[in-house]
């Protein structure tokens, strides 16, 4: 069983029918519950040293990344982030860097007015950080409401994080890779998410890959998606890799944390395709594979 | 640096002054924030196979325990639990038991009307589960408001979990230990916590030890605490261990998840001492050591 099968199994076990639970367990990027008349958006993400932190990452960047991946899930719903709680498992190697990790988290938190209101500290063989973010949304956008006729829009070109990671794994120093910020300190698209949520029918963030995100939207919405190669800009990648590899990175790489959404209008970013009747995801008429980098260093 | 030093360092880094944050980072059992006119109580706890799960624990009990420790933190504030989100890191050994772990979680969740609304699944060398619980409280009780003249009250006798654990480590089968339920499936004192919160001045749950809990209340409230040996019932332990060891378990062992509180009246459980002017914690006039089992298998 892979992660997606396990999530399906968990969804079954935790199925819930309650008026105050608008969106539950694993159905989307976040859960949405009602508290005091507000739509409260909840999400959890865990990162591990071996699978999620690129070689050469600095302590402050670990703190940044741990918060960023959670905020990105909130952005994917169009939620405004408010609070963050985390649990950290410190290995011997990292215990001396605890303060820096926390400072990196605080710095990003301040940027988005997030209050880090709690944490639990534990010790283990491998550094890992589990984060829980809480936000609110007047209107929230799921993956399951794409409408036939919508444009498919993307907030920015993809593939920068994985390109940089591969350069690093090929032996490049971190000062010499193409997009260090995409790899070590990606920025969640909070402001964009809130604006897009005013009109989008479906939205998600791209943590695994564009292909995975599009398949999830198509499957959950009961629609087909058609994208076009000519609409995918590759200029940011082609100085470093061949065009074919650039396309591979754009479609199947993760870690950029941009937003993909469907709407009658693309207010942020650019059009890459459209929502059609039927099912499946096609690129220039050919089936787009369902694969991506579930964790940064492992293919699905 | 131990866990408590690290928490203090983190509190400094995350200090926050916002009207909507009533209680923040590490100051207490939970954080409390205001959403839609409600006191929303947030807590996070992470458990690891090696340090937190007793030998012989069953998959369903792992799910139970992971939720129980978080609910116990909510109980400690007097909050009613509403939602639970978790991240699970599965090791190869446990991946086949995923469904049972989740079912154990669901069973306890149903008991307290908690909706498990989300999760993240990852893979690693060691099983661990980070949990994040959300509750609400009309009146919440902290560790920092004990009043001189209060009684110190305890919801039930302590030491059952650690006694059972030590029997297990001494080679007993799990069917032969004294209190298997205290060890494998402790029950958070939710109903009690909500009732006690109507009148208590200070409260916390006993996850590490009674000694640690009393020291935290005394230090944070700026008071002294005096307890009496004769008020500590040991009858549940003395059939199995000497009286001296029984007292050690009562004072310094963790894992029972009972509540200790200070109030003008002990409505639940029994009196073990009183709150006095000054500082420190004494038992029959002698200093009570600040120590406990921060994790189930490691002394502080």
Q: How far is CA B199 from CA B79, B115, B155, B274, in A?
A: 14, 28, 15, 16
* Mean local confidence (pLDDT), A126-150: 96
- Judged against a pLDDT cut of 50, whether residue A85 lies above it is answered with yes
Residue A253 burial (CB < 10 Å; 0-12/13-18/19+)? buried
The arithmetic mean of pLDDT across residues B248-256, rounded, is 94
Q: How open is the CA angle B79-B148-B22, to the nearest 5 degrees?
A: 35
Average pLDDT value over all residues in chain A = 92
Q: In a mutagenesis test of the A interface, which of B3, B13, B76, B137 is the best target, namely the one with the most A β-carbons within 10 Å?
A: B13
Cβ distance A87 to B45 less than 8 Å, yes or no, reads yes
Q: What is the pLDDT of residues B167-189, one digit of tens each?
A: 998 999 989 999 999 999 999 99
- Identify which of A117, A118, A121 has the shortest CB distance to residue B6: A121
Mean pLDDT comparison of A294-298, B252-256, B262-266, highest-scoring range: B262-266
Residue A144 tokens, joined: 């399951």
Residues of chain B neighbouring A46 (CB-CB closer than 8 A): 87, 89, 120, 122, 130
Looking at chain B, the whole-number percentage of residues with pLDDT higher than 90 is 80
What sign does the dihedral A142-A145-A146-A149 (CA atoms) show? negative
DSSP for residue B274: E
Residue B224 has pLDDT above 60, yes or no: yes
User: Which pLDDT tens digit goes with each residue over A20-49?
Assistant: 999 986 778 899 999 999 999 999 999 999
Structure confidence at residue B1 (pLDDT): 64
The dihedrals phi and psi of B192, each to the nearest 5 degrees, come to: -60, -45
Segment A161-170 mean pLDDT: 92
Partners of B103 on chain A (C-beta within 8 Å) are: 13
Q: What is the pLDDT of residue A258?
A: 97
- Which residues, 6+ apart, have CB-to-CB distance to B157 below 8 Å? B232, B233, B234, B235, B236, B237, B250
What are the sequence ranges of the domains in chain B? 3-136, 151-287
Between B117, B118, B121, which is nearest A3 by CB? B121
3-state secondary structure chain A: CCHHHHHHHHHHHCCCCCCCEEECCCCCCCEEEEECCEEEEEEEEEEEHHHHCCCCCCHHHHHHHHHHHHHHHHHHHCCEEEEEEEEEEECHHHHCCHHHHHHHHHHHHHHCCCEEEEEEEEECCCCEEEEEEEEECCCCCCCCCCCCCCEEEECCCCCHHHHHHHHHHCCCCCCCCCCHHHHHCCCCCHHHHHHHCCCCCEEEECCCCHHHHHHHHHHHHCCEEEECHHHCCCCCCCCCCCHHHHHHHHHHCCCCCCEEEEECCCCCCEEEEEEECCCCEEECCEECCCCCCCECCECC
Say if domain A151-287 classifies as CATH 3.40.50.970. Answer: no
B36–A33: do the CB atoms touch at under 8 Å?
no
Task: Place B25 in a pLDDT band, splitting at 50, 70 and 90.
Answer: low
State the average pLDDT over residues B242-246: 97
pLDDT of residue B47: 92
Question: What's the rounded mean pLDDT across residues A139-147?
Answer: 97
Does A207 score more than 90 pLDDT?
A: no
Predicted confidence at residue B265, as pLDDT, reads 96
* CA-angle at A191, arms to A51 and B37, nearest 5°: 100
Which residues contact residue B43 at a Cβ distance below 8 angstroms, ignoring those fewer than 6 apart? Answer: A85, A118, B29, B30, B31, B70, B73, B74, B132, B133
User: Beta-carbon neighbour count of residue B151 at 10 Å?
Assistant: 17
pLDDT for the residue B292: 86
For residue B24, list chain A residues with Cβ-Cβ distance below 8 A. Answer: 115, 117-118
Name the DSSP class of B295: B
Please state the ipTM of this predicted complex.
Answer: 0.91
How are beta strands A224-227 and A115-123 bridged, if at all? unpaired
Chain A hits for B49, CB-CB cut-off 8 Å, are none
Q: How many Å apart are CA B208 and CA B292, to the nearest integer?
A: 5
Question: In the predicted model, is pLDDT for residue B209 greater than 80?
Answer: yes
For A282, phi then psi, to 5°, come to -125, 145
Tell me if B46 and A89 make a contact (CB, 8 A cut-off).
yes
Provide the pLDDT confidence category of residue B299 given band limits of 50, 70 and 90. very low
Residue A196 has pLDDT above 60, yes or no: yes
Q: Are A177 and A184 in contact (CB under 8 A)?
A: no
- DSSP β-ladder status, B38-48 and A281-283: unpaired
Among B42, B90, B125, beta carbon nearest to A83: B42
Chain A neighbors of B35, CB-CB under 8 A: 35-36, 38, 40, 82, 136
**Residue B4 above 80 pLDDT?**
no
The sign of the CA dihedral B215, B135, A29, A36 is: negative
CB A155 within 8 A of CB A258: yes
Which H or E run includes B58? none
Q: Using CB atoms, pick whichever of B30, B45, B119 lies closest to residue A44.
A: B119
Residues A256-265 have a mean pLDDT of 96
In this prediction, residue B14 carries a pLDDT of 85
Say yes or no to pLDDT of A232 above 70: yes
Q: Judge whether residue B300 has pLDDT over 80.
A: no
> What pLDDT, on the 0 to 100 scale, is given for residue B11?
82
Chain A partners of B117 at a C-beta cutoff of 8 Å?
A: 14, 16, 21, 23-25, 31, 33, 42
**Residue A10 scores a pLDDT above 90:** no
User: Which residues, 6 or more positions from B145, have their beta carbon under 8 angstroms from its beta carbon?
Assistant: B201, B202, B221
Topology agreement, domain B3-136 and domain B151-287: no
Residue A4 clears pLDDT 80, i.e. is over it: no
Question: Nearest CB to B42: which of A85, A126, A128?
Answer: A85
Distance CA B1, CA B106 (A): 36
What's the whole-number mean pLDDT along residues B272-277? 98
Say how far apart CA A115 and CA B26 lie, in whole Å.
Answer: 13
pLDDT of residue A24: 85
CB contact under 8 A, B1 and A95: yes
Q: What is the percent of chain A with per-residue pLDDT over 90, rounded to a whole number? A: 80
% of chain A at pLDDT higher than 70: 97
pLDDT, tens digit, 9 for 90 and up, residues A102-135 = 999 999 999 999 999 988 888 888 899 999 999 9
Tell me the pLDDT band of B52, cut-offs 50, 70 and 90: confident
Model confidence at B103, pLDDT cuts 50, 70, 90, reads: very high
Task: State both tokens at A60.
Answer: 């402050």
Largest CA distance in chain B: 55
What pLDDT sits at residue A9?
83
Q: How many CA atoms lie within 13 A of B103 on its CB side?
A: 8
CA dist., res. B216 & res. B203, Å (int): 10
What mean pLDDT, rounded, does chain B reach? 92
Tokens 């993307």: give the residue: A154
Mutation for B interface: A42, A43, A121, most B CBs within 10 A: A121
**Which one is the CATH code of A3-136: 3.30.1330.10, 3.30.70.1150, 3.40.50.720, 3.40.1260.10?**
3.30.1330.10
Q: What is the CA radius of gyration of chain B?
A: 19
Please give the pLDDT value at position B251: 97
């Amino acid at each position: 069983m892979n992660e997606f099968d396990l999530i399906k199994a968990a969804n079954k076990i935790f199925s819930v029918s309650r008026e105050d639970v608008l969106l539950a367990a694993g159905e989307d990027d976040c859960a949405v519950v009602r508290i005091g008349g507000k739509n409260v958006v909840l999400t959890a993400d865990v990162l591990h040293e071996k699978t999620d932190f690129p070689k050469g990452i600095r302590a402050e960047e670990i703190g940044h990344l741990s918060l960023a991946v959670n905020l990105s899930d909130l952005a994917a719903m169009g939620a405004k982030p408010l609070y963050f709680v985390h649990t950290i498992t410190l290995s011997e190697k990292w215990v001396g860097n605890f303060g820096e990790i926390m400072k990196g988290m605080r710095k990003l938190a301040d940027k988005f007015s997030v209050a880090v209101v709690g944490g639990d500290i534990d010790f283990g063989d491998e550094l890992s950080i589990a984060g829980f973010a809480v936000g609110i949304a007047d209107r929230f956008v799921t993956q399951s409401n794409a409408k036939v006729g919508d444009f498919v829009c993307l907030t920015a070109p993809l593939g920068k994080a994985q390109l940089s990671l591969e350069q690093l794994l090929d032996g490049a120093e971190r000062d010499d890779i193409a997009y260090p910020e995409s790899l070590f300190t990606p920025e969640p698209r909070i402001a964009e998410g809130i604006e897009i949520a005013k009109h989008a029918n479906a939205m998600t963030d791209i943590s695994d890959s564009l292909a995975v995100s599009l398949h999830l939207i198509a499957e959950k919405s009961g629609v087909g998606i058609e994208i076009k190669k000519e609409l995918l800009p590759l200029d940011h990648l082609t100085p470093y890799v061949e065009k074919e590899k650039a396309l591979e990175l754009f479609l199947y790489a993760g870690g950029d944390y941009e937003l993909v959404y469907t709407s009658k209008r693309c207010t942020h970013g650019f059009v890459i395709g459209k929502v059609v009747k039927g099912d499946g995801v096609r690129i220039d008429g050919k089936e787009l594979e369902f694969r991506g980098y579930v964790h940064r260093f492992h293919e699905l």
